[in-house]
Amino acid sequence: MTNSPFLTEGDDPQLFSSKLISSEVQEALPDGYTLRPLKRDDYSKGFFEVLGQLSVTGEVSQQVFEERFDLMKRMGCYFVVCVEAVDEIVACATLIVEHKFLHECGQAGHIEDVVVSDTQRGKKLGIRLIDQLKHMAQALGCYKVLLNCKEHNVPFYEKCSLSTAQVQMTRYFDRD
């Protein structure tokens, strides 16, 4: 059982409720493009082909995809949004809601894995995805959104009304 109107339960194939989809952002998309939550049966809809244009996806079977989907749904803090056109996913992005002790036990929204298929770039799908993530973050009670990106993508995120703050530090670990 969930106690949020924005989460889905049981056999619902959507990762989260469509109530979180902004009608304004949907209306701003080109005709024939639909903004929606990731679904459990999206494995064969080109999701990994799009994600693979951002970074290495590795080999992921349908079963492993579904197990990861189920985990994200149970956790209730993962919001993967997709743009679909002609039955294929052409863009996607993720909001992760971090529950903090700081800021009176507030929430921060982490923007991750933003990618538009290379055949679909320049149609404002990227900016719409970020608008949708900002909409969800506010609806879910976040006091800020934040992300890491490559230097060359800074102008894109500035067009999305985000600004540079602080620096990223990272360390990658070897895996067996």
Q: Which residues bind ligand COA (CB under 6 A)?
A: 53-54, 114-116, 121-127, 149, 152-153, 155-156, 159
In the complex with ligand COA, the residue whose CB is nearer, 15 or 115, is 115
Residue 91 CB, nearest approach to ligand COA (Å): 7
Residue 166: CB atoms within 10 A of its CB come to 6
Residue 84 CB, nearest approach to ligand COA (Å): 15
In the complex with ligand COA, the residue whose CB is nearer, 114 or 137, is 114
Residue 117 CB, nearest approach to ligand COA (Å): 8
In the complex with ligand COA, the residue whose CB is nearer, 152 or 171, is 152
Residue 120 CB, nearest approach to ligand COA (Å): 7
Would you call 130 exposed, middle or buried from its count of C-beta atoms within 10 A (0-12, 13-18, 19+)?
buried
- Cα 1 to Cα 21: distance, rounded to the nearest angstrom: 22
CB neighbours of 62 closer than 8 A, spacing ≥ 6? 43, 44
In the complex with ligand COA, the residue whose CB is nearer, 53 or 138, is 53
Helix%, strand%, coil% for the chain, nearest 5: 35, 25, 40
Point out the residue whose Cβ comes nearest to ligand COA. 126
Would you call 82 exposed, middle or buried from its count of C-beta atoms within 10 A (0-12, 13-18, 19+)?
buried
